[in-house]
């Protein structure tokens, strides 16, 4: 494989730059996916039948912690990529570990929140509003959970093989994914929670 030393490691082969471009196209497909879920949610938001409405259900506390964790983890994955560009394997691993732990914290709080809702009698089956809420949040949460497993897998590969064109490429693509989830969360935070609490 030809390695172009003038480019960053993650872009250094033709295969690598194709993969990054391909992942951008994939993220292009994730936009209509989440856009559709948001549309479904906006259609459903006032159709709460006999169940609770958004303002009755949402509490700001856990959501703020979730937001803090996810936004900070987007920053730390940026630091991990920065460390990778300088070839600091250890620092990179530490930042990735922090990122994933914050992701895990996010998932934990979300699961706890779901349990609280269900405990209060607000389930997937209760109303159109709740169905759309659970599926929108759940899809984002499933992405974060998948991201956790994916990131852990990449860490193992980094630990075994070091920062190579292949592992750098994977880590970089993972960081794109993680940032994307952050962007989606900003929309959820603003248009689901803040708007719902109003």
Partner 1 sequence: MDLDKFKVHGEPLIYGAMVSIALATIGILVGLTYFKKWGYLWREWLTTVDHKKIGVMYILAALLMLFRGGVDAMMMRLQTAAPEMKFLDAQHYNEVFTTHGLIMILFMAMPFIIGLMNVIIPLQIGARDVAFPRLNAVSFWLFFMGAMLLNISFVIGGSPDAGWSAYFPLASLEFSPTVGNNYYSLALQISGIGTLITGVNFIVTILKMRAPGMKLMKMPMFTWSVLITNVIIVFAFPVLTVALALMMFDRLFGSQFFTMANGGMDMLWANLFWVWGHPEVYIVILPAFGIYSEIIATFSKKNLYGYTSMVFSMLIISLLSFLVWAHHFYTMGQGAMVNSFFSITTMAIAVPTGVKIFNWLFTLRKGRITFTTPMLYTLAFIPIFTIGGVTGVMLAMASADYQYHNTMFLVAHFHYVLIPGAVFAVIAGFHYWFPKVFGFRLNERLGKHSFWWIVISFNVTFFPLFFLGLMGMTRRTYTYSEESGFGPLNMLSFVGAVGLAIGFLLLVYNIYWSTRYMPRDTTSDPWDGRTLEWATHSPMPVYNFAIVPTVQTRDALWSAKQDNIPLYDDKKITKIHMPSNTGKPFILGVIFFILGFSLVFSLWIPAILSGIGVIVMLAFMSFDRDHGYYISAEEVIATEKKLKRGETV
Q: Is residue 90 within 8 Å of 99, Cβ to Cβ?
A: no
Q: How far is the CB of 131 from partner 1 (least distance, A)?
A: 4
Residue 151, both tokens = 């990131």
Contact stretch for partner 1 (CB under 8 A) within 16-24, 68-76, 89-97, 106-114: 16-24
- Tell me the window of 73-81, 90-98, 99-107, 129-137 that interacts with partner 1 (CB under 8 A): 129-137
Near partner 1 by CB under 8 A: residue from 129, 177, 185, 193: 129
Q: How far is it, in rounded angstroms, from Cα 175 to Cα 172?
A: 5
Query: In angstroms, rounded to a whole number, what is the distance separating the alpha carbons of residues 172 and 84?
Result: 9
The answer to whether the CB of 132 falls within 8 A of the CB of 40 is: yes
CA dihedral sign, ordered 139, 82, 23, 10: negative
CB of 167 to partner 1, least distance (A): 10
Given the rule CB under 8 A, which of 66-74, 107-115, 120-128, 188-196 is the region that contacts partner 1?
120-128
Written as six digits, the tokens of 43 are 């259609």
Interaction mask 34-73, partner 1, x per CB under 8 A = --xx--x--xx--xxxxx----------------------
Nearer to partner 1 among residue 51 and residue 76 (C-beta)? 51
**Stretch 164-183: interaction string toward partner 1, x if CB under 8 A:** --x---x-------------
Looking at the Cβ atoms of 2 and 119, the one nearer to partner 1 is 2
Own/partner contacts of 185-189, CB < 8 Å, gap of 24 or more, are 185/66, 185/67, 185/70, 185/71, 185/140, 187/34, 187/38, 188/136, 188/137, 188/140, 189/63, 189/67
Q: What are the distances in angstroms from CA 3 to CA 8, 21, 79, 95?
A: 10, 17, 24, 27
> Binder to partner 1 among 33, 60, 65, 111 (CB under 8 A)?
33
Between residues 105 and 128, which has the closer beta carbon with respect to partner 1?
A: 128
Measured from the CB atom, the residue of 44 and 188 that comes closer to partner 1 is 44
CA distance 158 to 167: 6
Task: Name the site residues for partner 1 (rule: CB under 8 A).
Answer: 1, 17-19, 21-22, 25-26, 28-33, 36-37, 40, 43-44, 47-51, 124-132, 134-135, 146, 149-150, 153-154, 156-157, 166, 170
């Amino acid at each position: 494989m030809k390695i172009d030393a003038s480019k960053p490691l993650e872009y250094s082969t033709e295969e690598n730059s194709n993969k990054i471009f391909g992942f951008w196209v994939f993220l292009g497909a994730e936009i209509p996916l989440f856009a559709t879920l948001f549309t479904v949610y906006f259609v459903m938001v006032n159709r709460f039948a006999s169940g609770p409405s958004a303002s009755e259900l949402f509490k700001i506390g856990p959501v703020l912690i979730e937001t803090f964790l996810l936004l900070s983890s987007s920053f730390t994955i940026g630091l991990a990529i920065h460390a990778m560009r300088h070839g600091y394997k250890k620092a990179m691993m530490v930042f990735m570990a922090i990122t994933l732990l914050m992701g895990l914290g996010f998932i934990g709080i979300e699961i706890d929140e779901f349990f609280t809702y269900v405990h209060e009698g607000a389930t997937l089956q209760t109303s159109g509003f709740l169905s759309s809420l659970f599926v929108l949040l759940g899809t984002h949460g499933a992405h974060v959970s998948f991201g956790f497993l994916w990131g852990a897998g990449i860490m193992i590969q980094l630990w075994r093989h070091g920062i190579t064109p292949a592992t750098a490429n994977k880590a970089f693509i993972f960081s794109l994914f993680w940032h994307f989830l952050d962007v989606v969360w900003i929309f959820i935070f603003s248009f689901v929670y803040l708007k719902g609490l109003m």
